[in-house]
Structure 1
């Protein structure tokens, strides 16, 4: 692989580099919400390693790192699949128990990692995805800095703006229809996209007769 290809691949798949930190806690928990709540209560700046016990037994692909700044989750990373952000959370959202280790790290030690936008998650995403705890999600949002919440609001606004752009959506739909018709033409299925045909002649009478015979019936 060329040097350029190596560089491009590295840019597309950012990896997480953080210092070891000071171990605060190491245990097996049945609910990740316990760890998230503890980090929030302590205002922890650091990270947690999350290993679902199921993956240890089945050689699965979920060994996660979740970082915190002042108790609020910042980024998520799966060290096995090299995926980050929401994808990593989805891979970690498996039934417990989990082996969890909690570490404290100076904020400067996490600065570089927290600059990786591709690995970041919404402040309340871990509470929602991993713990399914709406109350904890609310508490986390309340503790999150305004700029983190504003970033999430901007994303929601962008999605809302797209959905409200009727002309753009109509153009996408029309393009999809055109592509479907082109594909149907290649397969000789043009008539299938012209809509339902209207019965004529004897078919009209047959359809009327069938309707009368089945009047009141739910289905065939």
Structure 2
């Protein structure tokens, strides 16, 4: 994983992004969280996602493998875990040098809703977010995900392989044709 500038404050493998999002909110992190899904079947092998935070509130997203930002990058990260996560505390200068914060904006509650599936955490994040943070965007993460035909095809192929494997385990090979 390529490291952004800043002070590494946490590095671990988590099964759910909620852990990293909660930690960033509780620590009022100004910096970024790097998410590298362990299942790189659906993403570029060298790609990872970066959420930028200001005082614990996610303000932007970027995925290095797809090059997409904003809600589309959140959709790119919406894959099954586990994830290797790294939290970096950064000064505003370090953060701006790594990722321009005026690009790729996301609504504050989006990562908690779309990545962690936690409406309580999303609401807590929205309550603490400054008024200037937009909660609507032109393209939702779900729309961005549904537009990514390669990702959907990869998910279908992975599901097909899993079904075939389980059918073989259960002796149902003849049932699949």
1:108 to 82, 93, 96: 93
Contact 1:19 1:105 in 2 (8 A): no
Q: Which residue of 1 aligns with 2:72?
A: 87
Larger Rg: 1
**What stretches of structure 1 move > 3 A for 4+ residues in a row?**
none
The structure showing larger relative contact order (alpha-carbon pairs under 8 Å, at least 6 residues apart) is 2
Q: Deviations over 1:117-167 (max 9, x none)?
A: xx110000000111000000010001100111xx336x69xxxxxxxxxxx
Contact 1:46 1:67 in 2 (8 A): yes
Deviation at 1:108, TM superposition (A): 3.0
The answer to whether the aligner puts 1:137 opposite 2:116 as a matched pair is no
Q: Distance in 1 between matches of 2:64 and 2:23?
A: 23
Q: Distance in 2 between matches of 1:111 and 1:47?
A: 11
The answer to whether the aligner puts 1:44 opposite 2:29 as a matched pair is yes
Q: Distance in 2 between matches of 1:19 and 1:64?
A: 12
Deviation at 1:59, TM superposition (A): 7.3
Q: Distance in 1 between matches of 2:114 and 2:81?
A: 13
Structure 2 residue runs of 5 or longer lacking an equivalent are 139-177
User: Structure 1 length normalisation: TM-score?
Assistant: 0.56
Aligned residues: 132
More helix by share: 1
Q: Aligned with 2:62: secondary structure? A: strand
After superposition, the CA RMSD in angstroms is 1.9
